[in-house]
């Protein structure tokens, strides 16, 4: 397959914006698409600020920063993605919504284009079944935040071709990432292991074993994790964590993956984590982690 020179990123949330930035800084033309024009405006602003920060820190040159800004185009028309070589989808973690998007993309993008999903847990094989090109559908799972985290987990669906795998791996390596490869089973490698730990941290809080601060401090200092599991859940998004637990439970057919009732309740209450200003912790004032109940 020819080199990838143009990428479409669908979903301008925390992951999509980061993937778009990574691509633009690494010399790939980007179309960033979202249904929500506010999300696009916010993403464009945060990408420009981040590029400026990289320049100020001397991590990229003036020429690279100017080039990166020029390479990024935002759109709320899916048709604008017709010329891209690969689409990386980073929308809401819902199989139904992703399948419908993949079916639409399949009709819009050129026949040689790869359709990749940044899904945290949903079956690539099932997403591929919504298209007429299952051999060109793959999982390209970036970690959060994409510009910083060194890993990309690549997931091969049942029919993903060797060419698709090699082109996707090449692109991830061009972005400076280390690649690991997973077969297509719910949660893949990273979330299969990480999410049950986060869910167990919620159970530990729910059953009154310890405070949120002690749970996080215990895991940071006791197991050398850079963030505690509850803090990490807030960072990922509690809605994303809940969706992944549901996928693990249904996909692996084991109730040991059932989401903790407290996690479910927080999501029901709109406490989605850092992106909403409140999750396990309250981020709405500077005094993060000072305790007390979030003000809802």
Q: What is the binding site for ligand NAD (CB under 6 A)?
A: 10-16, 34-36, 39, 90-93, 97, 101, 118-120, 141-142, 144, 236-237, 240, 275
Please, what is the minimum distance in Å from the beta carbon of residue 66 to ligand NAD? 27
Q: Which residues are catalytic?
A: 120, 141, 153, 191
Mention every residue, 6+ apart, whose C-beta is less than 8 A from residue 230: 198, 201, 202, 205, 212, 215, 216, 280, 281
Of the pair 152, 262, the CB lying nearest ligand NAD is at: 152
Please, what is the minimum distance in Å from the beta carbon of residue 171 to ligand NAD? 17
Of the pair 13, 134, the CB lying nearest ligand NAD is at: 13
Residue 200, marked binder: no
Residue 59, marked binder: no
Residue 34, marked binder: yes
Please, what is the minimum distance in Å from the beta carbon of residue 47 to ligand NAD? 13
Residue 274, marked binder: no
Q: How far apart are CA 66 and CA 95, in angstroms?
A: 37
From the list 269, 274, 262, 272, the residue with the least C-alpha distance to 296 is: 269
Residue 149, marked binder: no
Residue 186, marked binder: no
Tokens of 229: 């599991």
Residue 256, marked binder: no
- Please spell the DSSP secondary structure of the chain, one letter per residue: -PPP-EEEEE--SHHHHHHHHHHHHTT-EEEEE-S-HHHHHHHHHHHHHHHHHHHHTTSS-HHHHHHHHHHEEEES-GGGGGG-SEEEE---S-HHHHHHHHHHHHHHS-TT-EEEE--SSS-HHHHHTTSS-GGGEEEEEEPSSTTT--EEEEEE-TT--HHHHHHHHHHHHHTT-EEEEEESSTTTTHHHHHHHHHHHHHHHHHTTSS-HHHHHHHHHHHH--SS-HHHHHHHH-HHHHHHHHHHHHHHHT-GGGPPPHHHHHHHHTT--BGGGTBSSSB-SSS-TT--S----
Could you tell me which residues are annotated as the binding site for NAD(+)?
11-16, 34, 93, 98, 120, 144, 275
């Amino acid at each position: 397959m020819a080199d990838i020179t143009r990428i479409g990123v669908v979903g301008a949330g925390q992951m999509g914006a980061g993937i778009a930035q990574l691509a633009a800084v690494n010399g790939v033309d980007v179309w960033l698409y979202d249904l929500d024009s506010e999300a696009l405006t916010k993403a464009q602003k945060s990408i420009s600020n981040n590029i400026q920060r990289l320049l100020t820190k001397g991590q990229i040159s003036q020429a690279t920063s100017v080039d990166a800004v020029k390479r990024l185009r935002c759109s709320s028309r899916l048709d604008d993605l017709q010329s891209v070589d690969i689409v990386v989808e980073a929308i809401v973690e819902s199989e139904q919504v992703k399948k419908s998007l993949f079916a639409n993309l399949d009709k819009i993008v050129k026949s040689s284009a790869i359709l990749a999903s940044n899904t945290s847990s949903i079956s690539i094989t099932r997403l591929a079944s919504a298209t007429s090109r299952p051999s060109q559908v793959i999982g390209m799972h970036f970690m959060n935040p994409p510009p910083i985290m060194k890993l990309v987990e690549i997931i091969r669906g049942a029919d993903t071709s060797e060419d698709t795998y090699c082109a996707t791996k090449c692109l991830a390596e061009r972005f400076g990432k280390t690649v690991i490869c997973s077969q297509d089973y719910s949660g893949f490698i990273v979330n299969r292991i990480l999410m049950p730990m986060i869910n167990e941290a919620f159970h530990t809080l729910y059953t009154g074993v310890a405070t949120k601060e002690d749970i996080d401090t215990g895991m940071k200092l006791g197991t050398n994790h850079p963030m505690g599991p509850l803090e990490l859940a807030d960072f990922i998004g509690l809605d994303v964590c809940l969706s992944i637990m549901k996928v693990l439970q249904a996909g692996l057919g084991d109730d040991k993956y059932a989401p903790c009732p407290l996690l479910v309740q927080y999501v029901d209450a709109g406490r989605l984590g850092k992106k909403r200003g409140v999750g396990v912790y309250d981020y709405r004032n500077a005094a993060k982690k000072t305790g007390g109940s979030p003000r809802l």
